[in-house]
Amino acid sequence: MTYVKDFTWKKNMKASDLVGSLGSVGFQSVELDKAARIIVKMKESNAKIFLTFTSNMVTSGLRGFFAQVIRLGMADAIVTTVGSIEEDIMKAHGEKFPIGTFQHDDTELHESGTNRVGNIFINNKSYEVFEGMMQHIFKELYKKQHRWAVSDMLKEIGLMLKDKNSILYQAAKNNVPIYCPAITDGAFGFHAFMFQQEHSDFTIDVVKDFGNILFYTNQDDRKGIIALGGSVSKHHALLACLLNGGCDYAVYMTTAHEASGSVGGATTEEAKSWGKIKDASDVCTVIGDVTITFPLAMAKALDVLAGNKLIKGV
């Protein structure tokens, strides 16, 4: 039996000690510490780890942390949405996103050519610059071949980038596939469409890439998922795992609730009904803002794994 313990601050407290102390506080603090421990178990058991996240997390400053997590060998495959790809490329070319407020006058922002994601602003000029980048990228891709599976294309784009804080760059350098099944759902898709008008044989093959993620694992592999938010990114990874026997480990981090019936709110128990997660799996769900919960849980996991010499490049 575990009992509630009072949390107290200590001078020079490390993030891992903070999260460990929160594990006896109660409520979501317990789940946060459990998430860190399950991530450690994934790595210790040599599970193939799927890290999934939605594009708003790359809009935020988590983008560089995701790149670092990849470099440290804490993600074997990435599944995300196309906004992540777009904004990673933008930031790799020096674009900066101002922090504003949640209460800003949105009509005023629209008139000034500014788009709001929560309290982060993206100027239309960033997308204008992005258009030029993509035309160059598509031309380079087309020179090499005319038909691309999504993950192969994203690896090639990553090799074109020079920013070590880029998700695409680190994934390409460390041979971590990035799957993006909804690749046309954004500016990337629009520019691909425009390029195809002049190059009718240029094809981005999402069906072939489904085969890539499906055959990335097998029934014998131990599999883990760290699902940040919901959407197609979470479901696509879980579907691939379902078809290969289900996940052995699962950490969900979300602000959604199960009453909505959404992918983001779907619980690990619900996932068991589909076979996405095994009945005897080690799981937890952390309810809260991922820009807070993920860095804290992963920081503790990395400290433990670094002490056990189970992560590279430290």
Catalytic residues: 276
Computed from CA positions of residues 166, 172, 176, 180, in that sequence, does the dihedral angle turn out positive or negative?
A: positive
Computed from CA positions of residues 253, 257, 263, 267, in that sequence, does the dihedral angle turn out positive or negative?
A: positive
Helices first, then strands: H and E counts in the chain: 14, 10
Instruction: Determine how many CB atoms are found less than 10 A away from the CB of residue 131.
Output: 13
Q: How many CA atoms lie within 13 A of 173 on its CB side?
A: 17
Rounded to 5 degrees, what are φ and ψ at 205?
-100, 100
Q: How far is CA 78 from CA 21, 62, 232, in A?
A: 30, 14, 12
Tokens of 263: 């992918």
Q: How many CA atoms lie within 13 A of 282 on its CB side?
A: 15
Instruction: Determine how many CB atoms are found less than 10 A away from the CB of residue 205.
Output: 16
- What is the four-CA torsion angle of 73, 226, 165, 203, rounded to 10 degrees? 100
d(CA 242, CA 235): 10
Closest by CA to 182, choosing from 206, 213, 165, is 206
